[in-house]
């Protein structure tokens, strides 16, 4: 497959040009990659007005992912999530003169909440059908149907349904079923597929574009061999007409006007890698990870989630003590996990992991499980994570312009949340801006070690 962005940048870097343009490093510098780090010089195209090499490369990606159109993001899924919500709201406004309403799974990434603040759509949360973790929001097609019936019976119309699949812990939702229900009710299905770009290339293709989503956001960098920040906004075959016409403007609204050409080259080169290697590489990796998972289970670890390239250790069910301690023990073997909290440890695999990586993990797990009895038990007192949602006092957007102050979480009960200081991972909010912090929310934040919160000034 042609790689026009990478080819252009490589040729440019070899031409010994006098760079009287940005960036200031002029192609020289301390990282060693500066020569390839360009700006929108003649021939380099421009991400938000693409009609040259970037448009060609995006069209290649669309073919590989089976989307109607694919747009690159140099700002990860965060940028694509905000843009996808805007597209749904713009489409909505063409038919209705009302505030758009998005029905969303409560484990939404912070960028979705920020989208509601920036765009001004209203959010109705769907609580998880299983209450186990802040990061999980189980939503079945039947459950979605009940939510839609309830909201519509109140005379409200739903602009779009928004779900996260796979979630941080590797749970995959029944997207085909959810898309069918959403479409039957005349609404759209938007998917945060940040963790699932690779799902397209498994022996069974379970990418949201294949399963009927109208749009989805993929972090290419999370599971494909792509630099951090590289992502896609995919528009599905059944999406409303015109989505692609305003997609670039929507992406531009939420991104820098100087997207990184290193990231764009990385996305471009990934197309060629995908075409040549992805099917084989991902099915072989899935097999190797299956073997690692089987060994972990035979050693007594309980795993959760159904995503093929994630192994999520349920430390509570495994009775190995806190996930934070378990992650530290893995560090003793020079293994760094993706994410750990009191209950779980998430390990992410990709084709670039070597056999040695897999073997090292096997040895570490075997040795750790010999000494597991000396690890303290996890605290059995667990708050409710997503079934008891705090009372909403203001919309997230209403909160945006209010004066705020940062206070300890222990003093926050009764106050209205403006922002929760929870970084990524997992960047899922226990209390959303505009909600009143209740005792359970304090307990959840305490459970996750969140010490401070921004609240509205009284």
Ligand X SMILES: Cc1ncc(COP(=O)(O)O)c(C=O)c1O
User: β-strands 101-105, 160-164: how paired?
Assistant: parallel
Q: Does 22 participate in binding ligand X (rule CB under 6 A)?
A: no
Q: Does 168 participate in binding ligand X (rule CB under 6 A)?
A: yes
Q: Which residues make beta-bridge pairs with 162?
A: 104, 190
Q: Which residue is nearest to ligand X (CB)?
A: 76
Question: In the β-sheet with 417-420, what is the strand arrangement from edge to edge?
Answer: 404-408, 452-456, 417-420
Q: Does 194 participate in binding ligand X (rule CB under 6 A)?
A: yes
Q: Does 133 participate in binding ligand X (rule CB under 6 A)?
A: no
Among the candidate windows 144-152, 191-199, 251-259, 265-273, which touches ligand X by CB under 6 A?
191-199
Q: Can you tell me which of 44, 54, 76, 117 binds ligand X, judged by CB under 6 A?
A: 76
Contact 94, 367 (CB under 8 A): no
Alpha-carbon span 434 to 391, nearest angstrom: 9
Q: Does 52 participate in binding ligand X (rule CB under 6 A)?
A: no
Q: Does 70 participate in binding ligand X (rule CB under 6 A)?
A: no
Q: Can you tell me which of 109, 136, 200, 329 binds ligand X, judged by CB under 6 A?
A: 109
Q: Does 424 participate in binding ligand X (rule CB under 6 A)?
A: yes
Q: Does 266 participate in binding ligand X (rule CB under 6 A)?
A: no
Residue 263 or residue 303: which is nearer to ligand X going by CB?
263
User: β-strands 310-314, 303-304: how paired?
Assistant: antiparallel
Chain centroid to Cα 173, Å, comes to 14
How many residues are present in the chain? Answer: 458
The site map against ligand X for 308-347 (x = CB under 6 A) is ----------------------------------------
Q: Does 192 participate in binding ligand X (rule CB under 6 A)?
A: yes
3-state class (DSSP) for residue 376: coil
Burial degree of 177 (CB within 10 A; 0-12, 13-18, 19+): middle
User: β-strands 417-420, 404-408: how paired?
Assistant: unpaired
Among the candidate windows 72-80, 288-296, 343-351, 396-404, which touches ligand X by CB under 6 A?
72-80
Contact 185, 158 (CB under 8 A): yes
Residues in 145-164 that interact with ligand X by CB under 6 A: 164
Residues in 198-237 that interact with ligand X by CB under 6 A: 219, 231
Provide the total of helices (H) and of strands (E) in the chain, helices listed first: 16, 14
Residue 147 or residue 171: which is nearer to ligand X going by CB?
171
Q: Does 111 participate in binding ligand X (rule CB under 6 A)?
A: yes
Residue 339 host element (H or E): strand 339-340
Q: Can you tell me which of 57, 67, 78, 114 binds ligand X, judged by CB under 6 A?
A: 78
Give min distance, CB of 224 to ligand X, in A: 12
Contact 65, 199 (CB under 8 A): no
Q: How many residues bind ligand X (CB under 6 A)?
A: 14
Q: Does 425 participate in binding ligand X (rule CB under 6 A)?
A: yes
Q: Which of these, 205, 212, 208, 256, lies nearest to 233 by C-alpha position?
A: 208
Alpha-carbon span 250 to 389, nearest angstrom: 31
Residue 260 or residue 378: which is nearer to ligand X going by CB?
260
Omega before 426 within 30 of 0, i.e. cis: yes
Q: Does 77 participate in binding ligand X (rule CB under 6 A)?
A: yes
Q: Which residues bind ligand X (CB under 6 A)?
A: 76-78, 109, 111, 164, 168, 192, 194-195, 219, 231, 424-425
């Amino acid at each position: 497959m042609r790689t026009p962005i990478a080819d252009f940048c490589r040729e440019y870097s070899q031409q010994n040009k006098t760079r009287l343009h940005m960036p200031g490093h002029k192609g020289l510098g301390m990282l060693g990659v500066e020569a390839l780090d360009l700006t929108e010089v003649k021939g380099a195209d421009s991400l938000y007005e693409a009609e040259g090499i970037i448009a060609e490369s995006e069209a290649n990606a669309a073919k590989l992912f089976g989307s109607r159109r694919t747009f690159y993001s140099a700002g990860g899924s965060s940028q694509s999530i905000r843009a996808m919500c805007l597209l749904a709201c713009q489409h909505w406004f063409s038919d209705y003169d009302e505030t758009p309403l998005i029905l969303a799974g409560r484990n939404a990434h912070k960028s979705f909440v920020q989208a509601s603040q920036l765009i001004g759509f209203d959010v109705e949360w769907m609580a998880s059908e299983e209450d186990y973790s802040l990061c999980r929001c189980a939503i079945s097609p039947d459950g979605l149907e009940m939510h839609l019936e309830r909201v519509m019976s109140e005379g409200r119309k739903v602009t779009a349904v928004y779900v996260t699949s796979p979630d941080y812990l590797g749970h995959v939702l029944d997207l085909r079923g959810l898309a069918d229900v959403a479409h039957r009710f005349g609404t759209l299905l938007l998917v945060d597929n940040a963790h699932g770009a690779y799902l397209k290339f498994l022996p069974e293709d379970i990418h949201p574009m294949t399963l009927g989503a109208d749009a989805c956001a993929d972090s290419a960098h999370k599971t494909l061999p792509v630099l951090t920040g590289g992502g896609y906004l995919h528009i599905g075959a059944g999406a409303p007409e015109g989505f692609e016409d305003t997609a670039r403007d929507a992406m531009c609204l939420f991104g820098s006007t100087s997207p990184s050409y290193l990231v764009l080259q990385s996305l471009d080169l990934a197309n060629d890698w995908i075409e040549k290697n992805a099917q084989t590489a991902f099915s072989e990796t899935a097999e190797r990870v299956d073997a690692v998972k089987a060994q972990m289970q035979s050693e007594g670890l309980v795993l959760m989630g159904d995503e093929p390239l994630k192994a999520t250790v349920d430390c509570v069910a495994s009775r190995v003590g806190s996930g934070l301690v378990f992650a530290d023990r893995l560090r003793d073997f020079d293994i760094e996990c993706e994410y750990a909290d009191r209950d779980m440890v998430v390990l992410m695999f990709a084709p670039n992991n070597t056999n040695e990586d897999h073997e090292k993990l096997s040895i570490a797990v075997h040795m750790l499980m010999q000494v597991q009895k000396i690890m303290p038990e996890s605290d059995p007192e667990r708050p409710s994570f997503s079934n008891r949602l705090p009372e909403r006092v203001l919309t997230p957007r209403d909160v945006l312009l209010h004066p705020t102050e940062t206070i300890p979480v222990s003093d926050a009960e009764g106050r209205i949340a403006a922002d929760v200081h929870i970084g990524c991972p997992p960047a899922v909010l226990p209390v959303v801006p505009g909600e009143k912090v209740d005792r359970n929310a304090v307990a959840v934040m305490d459970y996750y070690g969140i010490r401070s919160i921004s609240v509205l000034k009284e």
